[in-house]
Amino acid sequence: MFVHDLVSVISFLCAAVVLLLALGLTVRAKFSTDLGSALVPALFLNAVWACFLAWDSSSGWLAPPGHFFLEMTRYAGWLLLMWVALPRNSEDPWLQVLPRLMVTIFTLLVLAGAAVSAALDIGLLKQWPSALFAIGGLICAVLVVIAAEQVGRNRSPTAYWSIKHLLTAVALIACYDIVLFSATYIFGDVPLPLWQGRGLVNAIVAILLVYGINRLRKSAVEKRVGAGGTFFTTIMLLVGCYLFLVAIMGAYVRSFGGTWGGALEVALLCGSVALLVVIALSAEARAVIRVFVQKYFVAQKYDYREEWLRFVRNIDGDGPALDRNDLGVRVLRAMANITGSPDGGLWIHNENDEFVPVAGRLCGANAPTFDNARTENHWVELLTQNNWILDIDGQLPPGLDREQIPEWLRQNPQVWLVVPLGVSGRMEGLLVLEPPLSNERMLTWEDLDLLRTAATQSAGSLALQRALDDIGQMQQFEAFNRLVAFLMHDLKNVLAQQQLVVKNFPRFRNNPEFLDDAILTVDNATQRMARLINQLKGGADAPQRRRFRFDEACREALQSVADRTPKPVAVQLPAVSVSGDPDRLRSALVHLLRNAQDATPAEGEVSFYAEYAEGLVTVIIADNGEGMSEEFIRDRLFKPFESTKGVMGMGVGAYQAREYVRELGGELQVTSQRQVGTRFTLTIPALVTDDIGELALPVH
């Protein structure tokens, strides 16, 4: 099975010399790192391997089990080196499993070899299975290539620079063995040229190994998770996997092919080589493989964390955007920074299904506004639906003709890329970028992916700003409606006073006291209307805080509701002064009293109690009416425009009362129980106490 000739002797002697040279250089370097220390046993075992194979090539003293364990000894050194070099603090589950997987598989292979040797010794097997040598070597070689790729991937650029020649040399040695062991397994014997050249290949690659050791000695190596891997080792890994698959298929053909097994095996090998040639000659296949390898194995062009932080900073600017146009300027600047474009233009989709120019040099005075619904603008819909980025001078996406693109885009030398800004199936804008200053217009898959991601984020920001603008407009209408509701509530109270005067006029028209009260009521209503008008105008006559008698405001409030049943009874009125607007306080008390009257039957009771203590005046308005539930008090009582009176109520009285009491520095609290009654408690800061007295005055 193995070759014994002078060429093989010289070949493996050359490998032994160069490996011993590398071992001496490593020992002399006195590495302090684990990686450098692991080089010593790895190189020693490989030098021993080369010496033994050179001896065996001249004498043939090694039996098949000896060759198997010699290969296992050699790969024990390389696997140890890779095991030490792999990171231990990575969160990647694959990196956590790989070291244990390497140890487990290698141990199983050694145990399998030991078991076969024991079976030969006791007579269970008549000869050593040749496939075990090929399979064991092939598995170890593939493990070394995978580990070397992971070591390169998980190094910082500086650290990778110091070990890339070392990793490349180890990977090349393992890749050559993958080819050798695959062919051995397929053909059932070691190919003569590959075996004779094995030592020379190891000697040549060991020179690169010496150079890598020298570079490692001159630099400090530090580990890092997440750096890009090497393109070369990745390709070698893929080729190794391909050859391993071919070896398995060849074994199947040889085992089950019968008399045609040999012919089919040769045909399979030729077909595999032909497939590799076709892939190598096919530009499309090479492009697919290149993108796949670069995406998942090679260092990325962008530091996506930094790109994303910079993009977010450009979008945020100096603060929240004023409107969609202001945000559009930021979006254009952020997108142009990604491609290095000096400027561009942004068209925003409005509520009329039109794209209007809002930002950028291309959106000057002559920039067109185009209707998305028109047939000639169907190209915009194609870009949005397929998430295409259009290069005006490059190859167009399938299904899009150059004639469909508007002439103002095709004929403008300042137009380079057209990027649709869409999110959730809605087109928010259309971004046009100028050529970069470097004139590098070739876009890779990374450029396109980053642009699409940034475009989606930009569209989301524009959609959010549109929603915020709509909400702001709705809030303006809501504020206007609320103002009208408050105004109508106050007018309703004034109207109630005037209606009461008109209602009582036929009965008391000849009563001078009634006429005097009517004039006072009309004068009060006039003053309140004037103040309302000044408040709407924001004029200087708007109500100011002033000192007034609290007990007088209470009596006026009680007098205003005296015409309704049940009539409130004032249990106590302290003679104190407070600071505020007496009309607003009186309106708040009137509303609470009328609510109590509305909720209480005519035969019920409404009480009004006030007291002064420790600088605070407390008012309690209680009734024994139908009461309210806790849910109603919590969720609806003080919510504007929530009313239980149907169309007759505005739903703002309780809200106004509480807000004004809070404006005075007080608080309004409510306790209620269904079918028992309700209790409103107002607490208001008082000024100077004048004359505290208890006046049990029923209202007449």
How far is the C-alpha of 670 from the C-alpha of 683, rounded, in Å? Answer: 12
Distance of CA 628 to the CA centre of its chain: 47
The 3-state DSSP class for residue 673 equals strand
- Say which range, 91-105, 273-287, 466-480, has the weakest mean pLDDT: 273-287
**What are the tokens at 511?**
């009563």
SS (H, E, C) 567-596: CCEEEECCEEEEEECHHHHHHHHHHHHHHH
Which of 53-57, 143-147, 558-562 is the most confident on average? 143-147
Residue written as token pair 């979008």: 315
Confidence band (pLDDT; 50, 70, 90) for 485?
A: low
Residue written as token pair 């024994």: 624
- Say which range, 198-212, 221-235, 344-358, 673-687, has the weakest mean pLDDT: 221-235
Looking at residue 38, its amino acid is A
Report the pLDDT averaged over residues 435-451. Answer: 79
| C-beta of residue 38 within 8 angstroms of C-beta of residue 81 | yes
How far is the C-alpha of 398 from the C-alpha of 127, rounded, in Å? Answer: 63
How far is the C-alpha of 258 from the C-alpha of 339, rounded, in Å? Answer: 61
Helix (H) or strand (E) holding 514: helix 512-537
19-47 pLDDT tens trace: 888 888 887 777 766 677 778 888 888 88
Q: Which fold has domain 543-698?
A: Heat Shock Protein 90 (3.30.565)
- % of the chain residues with pLDDT over 90: 5
In this predicted structure, the answer to whether residue 335 has a pLDDT above a threshold of 80 is yes
What CATH class is the domain 318-457?
alpha beta
Query: Given this model, what pLDDT does residue 697 score?
Result: 35
| C-beta of residue 50 within 8 angstroms of C-beta of residue 23 | no
User: For 166, phi and psi rounded to 5 degrees?
Assistant: -65, -45
Residue written as token pair 């809002």: 358
| C-beta of residue 651 within 8 angstroms of C-beta of residue 612 | no
How far is the C-alpha of 590 from the C-alpha of 698, rounded, in Å? Answer: 16
Residue 37 or 68, more confident:
68
How far is the C-alpha of 222 from the C-alpha of 178, rounded, in Å? Answer: 30
- Say which range, 60-69, 163-172, 286-295, 394-403, has the weakest mean pLDDT: 286-295
Residue 126 or 657, more confident:
657
**What are the tokens at 462?**
């524009």
543-557 pLDDT tens trace: 567 888 888 889 888
Helix (H) or strand (E) holding 617: strand 616-623
**What are the tokens at 161?**
């620079």
Confidence band (pLDDT; 50, 70, 90) for 1?
A: low
The 3-state DSSP class for residue 245 equals helix
Domain boundaries, the chain: 6-296, 318-457, 543-698
| C-beta of residue 543 within 8 angstroms of C-beta of residue 576 | no
Residue written as token pair 């500086």: 158
- % of the chain residues with pLDDT over 70: 75
Query: Given this model, what pLDDT does residue 622 score?
Result: 92
Which of these, 53, 38, 40, 75, lies nearest to 177 by C-alpha position? 75
Query: Given this model, what pLDDT does residue 226 score?
Result: 34
- Say which range, 113-117, 229-233, 489-493, has the weakest mean pLDDT: 229-233
Query: Given this model, what pLDDT does residue 5 score?
Result: 73
Residue 455 or 254, more confident:
455
Query: Given this model, what pLDDT does residue 483 score?
Result: 64
595-629 pLDDT tens trace: 898 889 988 999 999 998 888 999 999 999 888 88
370-424 pLDDT tens trace: 776 565 567 777 777 777 888 887 777 777 777 788 888 888 888 888 999 988 7
How far is the C-alpha of 675 from the C-alpha of 397, rounded, in Å? Answer: 74
Query: How many helical (H) and strand (E) elements, i.e. helices and strands, does the chain have?
Result: 20, 15
Q: Identify each DSSP E strand in 61-205 by its residue range.
A: none
In this predicted structure, the answer to whether residue 264 has a pLDDT above a threshold of 50 is yes
662-695 pLDDT tens trace: 888 899 999 998 888 999 999 999 885 444 444 3
How far is the C-alpha of 246 from the C-alpha of 141, rounded, in Å? Answer: 16
Query: Given this model, what pLDDT does residue 466 score?
Result: 84
